[in-house]
Amino acid sequence: MRELGPGDPDNSKKPEDAFQEADNLTHEDMPMGDPKVEKNFVEPWYGIDFDGTLSMYYGFKGPGHTGDPIPRMVTRVKQWIAAGMKVKIFTARISVPDQRQEAETAIREWCLRHIGKELEITNIKDIGMVVLYDDRCKQVETNTGRLLNV
């Protein structure tokens, strides 16, 4: 068996430590070892799901309906922004073409009201995304397929 190298996962860390580390990341901490990122710089960003993660969600009620803010996540997003990090709303809500404009308008207005500024809205993951906060995701340990925090 080979020894772990600098790019290998540290299996001694607990999953909750990894979540805490992600909460405390700064631009200097963001992984930039990918040659595609270094050659064609893509600004690093944090992704946050809207329904059920940033905004209360009790089932789909139309593209223009938004729930009350989830205070813990709103505070976290405001802290990231204050620290100079780029934050994007990452949501499937805008994936339906004939509902996209109504959904984007509702989310932008919600962000202005509860975060104090509009955030970019996307449903596309790119190489700049550092971390995604989402109520439907399962974290998988890099290069192992092992589920974390199960």
List the chain pLDDT tens, one digit each, 150 residues. Answer: 444 444 444 444 443 444 455 555 554 444 444 545 555 678 899 999 999 999 999 999 999 999 999 999 999 999 999 999 999 999 999 999 999 999 999 999 999 999 999 999 999 999 999 999 999 998 899 999 999 987
Domain ranges in the chain?
40-150
State pTM to two decimals.
0.72
If we measure between CA atoms, which residue out of 83, 94, 77 comes closest to residue 131?
77
Match 């089932």 to its residue by tokens.
Answer: 59
- Please report how many Cα atoms fall inside a 13 Å half-sphere around the Cα of residue 89, on the Cβ side: 28
Which class is domain 40-150? alpha beta
Whether the CB-CB separation of 115 and 74 falls below 8 Å is answered with yes
